[in-house]
Structures are given as structure tokens and as C-alpha cells.
Chains A and B, each alone.
Chain A
């Protein structure tokens, strides 16, 4: 049997079995899909800030991230907040914000 650690553990089945358990426990995923997508998005941002463009299009996971319900929900909330702001300003007689007037 190959020596798993490069140590003199021959015959120590319990220690070898512990190695198998350690391997199984430490190889389990630590991150959710959303965690991976978030880290990926941050990595792309850092790389692009350093002048390495093109990965945003090349990595399809970003598309998944943008379609995630939390992101869609966040965008919807932003739209609602903006609509509320417009309504409030209109009631106060200020009209729409300049960014909307320009559009």
C-alpha cells in the first residue's frame, strides 16, 4: 500500500483512515454557487481595474449572477425606489430628477 504521507506510518490503519476522513471533510464544498459567483465577479472587477478586460464576456457565470433572483430583486427594488422618488418630487412640484428628464 502506498504511504500516504511520506511518513513512517506503515501498519497504522487508524491514522491512515483518519487521512481518508480528513480528505473527505476538507474536500467538501465551502462555498455556495452564489458565493462562487460573487468572488468571481470581484476577481473580474480587480482584473479589469488592472487593465485586463474581456473576462466579463468570457466567463458565463457572470450572466448567471446577473440573473440571480437576489440581483433581479435588487434591481427591482432600485426601480421602485426611483419611481417613489420621482412621485415624491412631482408631488412637491420639483418635477423629475434631471437624470430622468435627460432620458
Chain B
């Protein structure tokens, strides 16, 4: 659940510089972020087709702005999220939420484990979908986008304190709705505490 490290940010900067030199090098950035931007657009629009339109328009803007893009030391996704948010804000159509099935690929997982996790993931996504809009947005940007509170605050045009509060309220609600985490997550936490 880590934010991007300095070395990861440096690598991302290199990717952007490479894409500015050669357009073909933009493909890795698209592949890295298209799912996140779609998920975010979907959380804002509640409509798959509209979310695809917003995602496409976001990356079209990314293509257009690439030569002028200036690195500011924050993940490129923060800029993409902001563009998507602005596009949705400009387009006021917001129909109801339709739950999506994730497309999963993990060959090492047993069918039983995969079924258990898929079920849990679906429950988590459904619970997130039912959060109030601002809490949902904060959770998606934090856990789906790996962004920091400061970056989320910039995208949502809220204070950092407001983002923290939204996230805390969302997590409190989600804990009540979802109950205890899966054993794997509990074990992971236990291991971390033992090694801390």
C-alpha cells in the first residue's frame, strides 16, 4: 500500500522524458495508468461508456500536452486524475452506479483461493461504490491510485485535512460493512508488526 518511492518517481520521470522524445514511448505510461483512470472516471460517472469516453479524452489530452508537460515531482497519475476530474465536472451527466467485474490474471493462485479473493474483492468494490461520492473519490485515489493526501487534495480541490477526514470516515464505514479482513491480510499485518 506504498506511495511511489523516490526511485520509482525518478523512473517515471524518465518514462515521460522518453515519451517527449519519442511518442512510441508513451505506451508504457498508458498501460500503467489506463485502468486507474478508468476506475476513477467510472466512480465519478457511474456509467461505463461515459467512463471510457472520459478515459480516452484524458489520454488524448495527455498526448496533446506531452510536449509541454513539466515534471513537478509527483506521480504522472496525479495530473491524469485532475484532467479526468475536470472533464467529468465539465460534463454534468452522472447516471447510477453499475458494478464492474474485474479482469483478473493470476496463474499461480488456486481456483479456491481465487474464488475467495474474487468474492471479497467484489464485496469491497461494491462497498466502496456505495460510499458517498467524496469519500469514494478519496478512497479510490488513495488506494487505487497510491496518491498522497496532498496530491488527492489538489485533485479534489479540498484541504489535506478534509481528505484525511473523508478517508477515515470511509474506512470506518467500510470496516463496519465488510467485517474482518481475510486471513491473508491479517497474517500480513501480523508479520509486519512482528518485524517492526
Residues of A participating in the B interface, judged by any CB pair closer than 8 Å: 1, 4-7, 9, 13-32, 35-36, 38-40, 42-44, 46-47, 50, 52, 54-55, 58-61
Determine whether the beta carbon of B120 is less than 8 Å from that of A39.
no
A19 to chain B, nearest CB (A): 5
Mark contacts of B35-59 with chain A using CB atoms, 8 A cut-off: 1 yes-contact digit, 0 otherwise. 1001100100000000011011111
Given the known interface contacts A19-B143, A26-B143, A26-B144, the answer about A55 and B23 at a Cβ–Cβ threshold of 8 Å is yes
Cα–Cα, bound, A42→B51 (Å):
12
Tell me what chain A mostly uses at the interface: helix, strand, loop, or mixed: helix
Determine whether the beta carbon of A61 is less than 8 Å from that of B104.
no
CB nearest to A49 among chain B residues: B60
B71 to chain A, nearest CB (A): 21
Say whether B140 faces chain A, with CB atoms less than 8 Å apart.
yes
Contact stretch, chosen from B4-12, B90-98, B188-196: B188-196
> For residue B38, which residues in chain A have a CB less than 8 angstroms away from its CB?
30-31, 35, 39
For this complex, 22 residue pairs linking A to B, each with C-beta atoms less than 8 Å apart, are: A9-B168, A15-B175, A17-B185, A18-B181, A21-B182, A23-B146, A24-B117, A26-B125, A26-B128, A27-B143, A29-B104, A30-B100, A31-B34, A31-B38, A36-B34, A42-B53, A43-B58, A50-B64, A55-B23, A58-B26, A59-B27, A61-B27
Determine whether the beta carbon of A39 is less than 8 Å from that of B56.
yes
Cα–Cα, bound, A6→B60 (Å):
34
Determine whether the beta carbon of B56 is less than 8 Å from that of A43.
yes
Interface residues on B, range: 35 or more
> For residue B102, which residues in chain A have a CB less than 8 angstroms away from its CB?
28-30
Residues of B participating in the A interface, judged by any CB pair closer than 8 Å: 1, 22-24, 26-27, 30-31, 34-35, 38-39, 42, 52-53, 55-60, 63-64, 100, 102-105, 117, 120-121, 124-125, 128, 139-140, 142-144, 146, 148-149, 160, 164, 167-168, 171-172, 174-175, 178, 180-182, 185-186, 188-190, 192-193, 196
Cα–Cα, bound, A39→B144 (Å):
19
Determine whether the beta carbon of A30 is less than 8 Å from that of B1.
no
Determine whether the beta carbon of A39 is less than 8 Å from that of B189.
no
